Amino acid sequence: MKPKTRQSVTDGIPPEAELILNQIETKKSNYKQKMIIAFAFLIVLMVVSLIVLGLDFKFMLKWLPFILAGSGYTFLVAFLAISLACILAVVGALGRLSTNPIFNSMATSYVSLIRGTPLLVQVYMWYLALPQIGKALEAYGIPGIQRLLTLPAVPAGILALGVCYGAYMTEIVRAGIQSIKIGQTEAAKALGMNATQTMKRVIFPQALRVIIPPVSNEFIAMVKDSSLVSLMGVWELSYRAIKVGRRHFQSLEMLIMVAFIYWIMCMILQFVQEKIERHMARGDRRIS
Amino acid sequence: MMENSTPMVKITNVHKVFGRKLHVLCGINLEINKGETVVILGASGSGKSTLLRCINFLEEPTAGTIEVDGTVIHAGEDDKKRENHILDIRKKTGMCFQSFNLFPHMTALENIIEGPITVLGQTKKQAVLYAEELLDWVGLTDKRDEHPSRLSGGQQQRVAIARSLAMKPKVMLFDEPTSALDPELVGEVVDVMERLAREGMTIIAVTHEMHFARDVADRVLIMDGGNWIEEGTPEKIFNNPEEPRTRQFLAHIL
């Protein structure tokens, strides 16, 4: 048969092919069904084990509002730290790719230093050690600097998390930018675009697509790491849960509850990530 | 035919050395008049593409002078205005690549209006109006809102040509525009190039498309080892080549 007869799609299909097509379809729907059953089974298993453990659900319900009240801090810290990290990541990535020796070496040292030290140490550095630096500076004759550098717990936490995640994300953004083929830069240059226009209009929008999945990873990790601000005595989610659990010797209930709250928050983030990814995939070749 | 005015493109003693060893262009001279169509032929690795890329400074010439429509840049010259001169030359030259290099995150129309809006500062309305005219001219009005991934190679290259033309260039550079295409799609692209030549565009093309070289070009140049070995009208080059190397090369590709 000539390939020209494309218009009559269903006409020329032989019956044995029909059989195989049906098989493929049943396989697909079977797989979907089995996945649903498997997930349902896992959920039932989880609920049953929670009941078997003899959890005090009344107790959990009673303290739920108190614990949830801490989520405000979690959101605040995570949101502001993420914003800061994004800005630092873009600036850092441009620095890492820059041919300016000062800018480049600064960005490279930033990434190396921050990635090479524990977040815990950094948090305390911002909170406890910075005032001491201020004191030393004041001794050199800068008045009022110590008070300026003595940060309250929440701003210190935001700075620590933002600066730390900014360093990791710098490398993600750099890799994303470098993953765009050289031909794109050349086409932009050939049109007469300068370096800034090329980055803004051509390279970065494409890099963003590559960057989003790993950056979402960082976001999710950061939401959970925001619990580190409890080290400085901020009454956020996990801090409240641990306090209450200890006092009433019902840590299991409280920890399970707070774990669920984090899980739900991260599921929302994942949902948003998938939405954005789908939106960014517009230019892709798809069979539909 | 060719008037004795100043040439549109003037390449004087251009050298290109990669690293310290690879001497790709060895003192190239070339003058191209307004409205002239020039085809450069040569074996792969002979330096054709490098020369083309030196004209709009995608490659920096190691020595020599490039002049496009009155803008002169000397190699190695360290001048504050140099960067502006390069942008100036790039605005005056359009370039089509072997691999099209359309912007995949933009539709056909968005690809075409990007340069005029970002570089020339046109309003969107202005740019769209001309872009639609160009899409019609390359015969792709119905693909206006498609992303490049949904277009065939030939369609992509035609959009790429329209994207270059949107900048109203004085010179068009074609770097093997049909080499990445399936054989049955070559015709539609060559067709557009031919119409462009007939409408008086100054064209420098590196191509193995013999119909274009034979029937459309005003002049054919043969390159080997980083310099010209022969040049002349298509009739002379294809029917009466003087150089044995030219004959050898033509025997391979015809």
User: Two tokens at B122?
Assistant: 């046109």
pLDDT of residue B49: 94
Q: What is the ipTM of this complex?
A: 0.93
Percent of chain A clearing pLDDT 90 (strictly above): 68
pLDDT tens per residue, range B121-132: 999 999 999 999
Return the bridge partners of B67, or none. Answer: B10, B72
Give the number of other CB atoms < 10 A from CB of residue A222. Answer: 23
Q: What are phi and psi of B96, to 5 degrees?
A: -115, 135
- Beta-carbon separation of B114 and A285 below 8 A: no
Residues of B in contact with A187 (CB under 8 A): 95, 97, 101-103, 160
CA distance B185 to A158: 57
Residue B176 near residue B100, CB atoms below 8 Å: no
Q: Give the integer Cα–Cα distance in Å for B94 and B108.
A: 17
- Which architecture, in CATH terms, is A68-281? Orthogonal Bundle (1.10)
Residue boundaries of the structural domains of chain A? 1-54, 68-281
Q: Model confidence over A145-190: pLDDT tens digits?
A: 888 899 999 999 999 999 999 999 999 999 999 999 999 999 999 9
Convert the pLDDT of each residue in B22-63 to its tens digit.
999 999 999 999 999 999 999 888 899 999 999 999 999 999
Question: How many Å lie between the alpha carbon of B142 and the closest alpha carbon of chain A?
Answer: 17
Whole-number Å distance between alpha carbons of A31 and A87: 43
Which has more confidence, B118 or A11? B118
**Over 80: is that where the pLDDT of A115 sits?**
yes
What is the number of alpha carbons within 13 Å of residue B231 lying toward its C-beta?
15
d(CA B28, CA B13): 5
Q: What is the pLDDT of residues B162-184, one digit of tens each?
A: 999 999 999 999 999 999 999 99
Q: Does B212 touch chain A (CB under 8 A)?
A: no
The answer to whether the CB of B157 falls within 8 A of the CB of B96 is yes
Residue of B nearest to A209 (CA): B105
Q: What is the DSSP code string of B161-186?
A: HHHHHTT--SEEEEESTTTTS-HHHH
Which of B87, B91, B114, B171 should we substitute to test contact with A (largest number of A Cβ atoms within 10 Å)?
B114
Rounded mean pLDDT, A182-208: 96
Q: In this predicted structure, what is the pLDDT of residue B201?
A: 96
Give the nearest chain A residue to B165 (CA atoms): A191
Tell me the pLDDT band of A283, cut-offs 50, 70 and 90: low
Q: What confidence score (pLDDT) does residue B56 get?
A: 95
pLDDT at A10: 65
Residue A256: DSSP 8-state: H
Q: Among all chains, which residue has been given the structure tokens 């998390």?
A: A161
